[in-house]
Amino acid sequence: MIRIQKYRILFFILFLLLIQAGYAQNKYTIAQIPDPKASGNGYVSNPDLILSPAGVDSLNRTITDLEQRTKVEMAVVVVNDFDAGQEEYDFALQLFRQWGIGKSKANNGLLLFIAVDRKQYRFITGYGLEGLLPDAALKRIGDHFLIPAFKEGDYSKGVVNALGTIAAYLNQPGNQKELSQLLPPDPGQRNTWLWTIANTILVMGLFAAVFFGIRKKTPEISKNKASAKTNAYDKTIGCGCGGLFMILVAAGFIIGFTTGYSWVKSLDMRTIPLVLYLILSIILLARYMNAISVLRKIHQDDLNFSQAVKALNRSSIFYLVASPLILIVMLMEAYRRTQAASRFKPQLDSQNREMSRVDRDQTAPDQTFLTKGQLKEEQLEVNHYDIWLSSDQAAHKIIGYPGSNFADFTVCPTCNAKTLSKEKLVTLKKATYTKEGEGKEVKICENCGYEEFIKSVIIAVRTKSDDSRSSDSGSSSSSSSSSSSSSGWGGGSSGGGGAGGKW
C-alpha cells in the first residue's frame, strides 16, 4: 500500500513537471499575449516572468510619466517564444495594430517586442513617431542598450535603459535634437560615409567615360535625317522608358499603399552607389539604342547598316561592365545579321552570272528602279528592297524583305502599294461637355491618299474625371479602435516603421 502511494506521488510530480515544461515552451499567438492594459497591470506584458518585478515597476513608472507629459503610449512585451509560423516583424506589427497602441489621431505609439528563445527584438513605431524616432536611431538604441545586456542575460537592465533613453528624448520640450546625440558617437558612421562617397564617385566616373565613348562612336547626322520618321529602335526606347516609368510608379503606389514609406528611412546609405549604378545602366542602354537608331537613319542600305552596328558592338564590348543590359541588344543584332546573311549573297542573271548589289547609301539610281509606292514602303519600314544589276547593267532584279511595320499596313487597291494603314478614327466634330461629337473610322493610304470608309462614329459627351478614391482605411481604423477601446489603449496605428535585431 505504501509502495502504491509512493508511485502516485511520483506520477503526480511528473505530471506537474510536464505541465510546467509545456507552459515554458508555450508559443504564443496574438490572442494569447496578455494585454497589460486589460488586466490593469500597466504597460508591460511579462507572462513568462523574464523581467524582474523591479524592472517591470520601473518601466511602468517611466511610461506612465511619459504618457502624462507627452500623451505617447509605449508597450513592452517579453515572451520566450511565439507562433512558429510567423516572423518577429509580422507578429509585432500585428500585435501593435491589434491592441491599437497610441492615440487614434496622433498615432503616437511605440511597441518593444522581445522573443528570448529566438534571441530577437523588434521596435514598432506609430505613424506619428516615425519622424521623432527614425528607424536608424532605434537600431542604434538596440545595439547599444539591448543586445549587450541581453547577452549577459540581464533583460530588465537592457529594456529599462533603452526605454529610459527614449523617454528622456521624447520628454524634451521641443524635441529639437536628434536621438543619436544621447548615444555614444557611432565610430563606423564616418567610414560608411567615406565608402559611400568614394564608390559614388567611382560609379559616376565610369559612366561619364562610357557616355563620352558612345558619343564619340555615334556619327553626326544631318537635320533632315534626324527629323526622319521614327524607326523601330526609337519606338523601343520610347516604349521601354514609358513602360519602366509606369512600373516604377505602380510599384511606388503599391508599396506606399500597403506598407507606407517608413522603409525608406531604414535604407543603408551604402546602397546609394548600387541604386545609382542600376539607374545609370538603364539610361546607358537607352543611349546605346539611340546610337543604333542614328546608324539606321544614316544608312538607307541595310548591309551598310548591319556592318556599322557590328562595328559599334565590337568596339563597345567593354561597356558591358557599365551596363550588362547592352548584351541583350548585341545578341539581338547578331541574331538579326545571321538571319539576313543569305539576303546579301549575289543574285544570278539570266546568263547565270553574278549580279552586283546597288549600294543605297551612294548616289544609286534607286529612283529609276523603285516606284514611288516602294519608296514609301521603305520610308514606313513596311518593306526593304534590294536592287541587283547585271554586269552590263542591262538587267536588274528588285527583291523585297518585310520591315518592322510589315503587319501594320495592307495593299492599297488604288496604287497597289502596301501603304494602306489600319483602321483609325478621324474626328469631324469634337465632343463637348454638353454635345456629342462626330467622327469616322477609315483606312488611309500613306502613298496616294486613298481613303477607305469603314463606318461613322458618334463620339460620347466628355465627362470630368472623378479623382476621388474609396478608402478602406475607415473600416480598419474603426476595427482597431474598437478592439483597443476594450483594452484601454488609444486606438493608434502603424505603417511598420521601427527596427529590430538579434543577439
Among 343, 360, 393, identify where a domain stops.
343
- pLDDT per position as a tens digit, 412-440: 999 999 999 999 898 989 888 888 889 99
Q: What are phi and psi of 79, to 5 degrees?
A: -135, 165
Question: In angstroms, rounded to a whole number, what is the distance separating the alpha carbons of residues 431 and 427?
Answer: 9
H-helix or E-strand spanning residue 452: strand 451-459
User: Is the domain of 378 the same as that of 232?
Assistant: no
Count of all residues that appear for the chain in the document: 503
Pairing of strands 73-79, 81-82: unpaired
Q: Which residue's entry shows cell 526609337?
A: 234
Q: What pLDDT does 177 receive? A: 47
Q: What backbone phi and psi angles, to 5 degrees, belong to 414?
A: -90, -55
pLDDT at 9: 57
> What domain range includes position 232?
193-343
| 429 is a domain residue | yes
Last residue of a domain, one of 183, 213, 234: 183
Whether residue 482 is contained in a domain is answered as: no
391 part of a folded domain: yes
Residue 282 lies in a domain: yes
Instruction: Quickly state the pLDDT bin for 257 (edges 50, 70, 90).
Output: low
Question: Given a cut of 70, is residue 398 above it in pLDDT?
Answer: yes
Looking at residues 231-251, what average pLDDT do you find? 70
Residue 260 has pLDDT above 80, yes or no: no
User: What is the model's pLDDT at position 26?
Assistant: 67
- Do 324 and 446 belong together in one domain? no
Same domain, 131 and 211: no
318 and 351, same domain (yes or no): no
Q: Which of 165, 183, 201 represents a domain boundary (last residue)?
A: 183
Instruction: Answer yes or no: do 455 and 324 share one domain.
Output: no
Amino acid at 324: P
Within a domain: 39:
yes
pLDDT at 445: 94
Residue 501 in any domain: the answer is no
- The percentage of residues in the chain with a pLDDT greater than 70, rounded to a whole number, is 77
433 shares its domain with 288: no
Amino acid at 418: K
CATH number at 76 reads: 3.10.310.50
Same domain, 163 and 108: yes
pLDDT, one tens digit per residue, over 274-288 is 889 998 998 898 888
Q: Does residue 245 share a domain with residue 275?
A: yes
CATH number of the domain enclosing 413: 2.20.25
Q: Are residues 278 and 204 in the same domain?
A: yes
DSSP state of 229: P
In a domain, 97, yes or no: yes
Beta strands in 48-142 (DSSP E): 73-79, 81-82, 109-115, 120-125
Asked, for residue 55, whether it belongs to a domain, the answer is yes
Q: Number of folded domains in the chain?
A: 4
Same domain as 35, residue 125? yes
Taking the CB of residue 283, how many other CB atoms lie within 10 A of it?
Answer: 14
pLDDT surpassing 50 at residue 295: yes
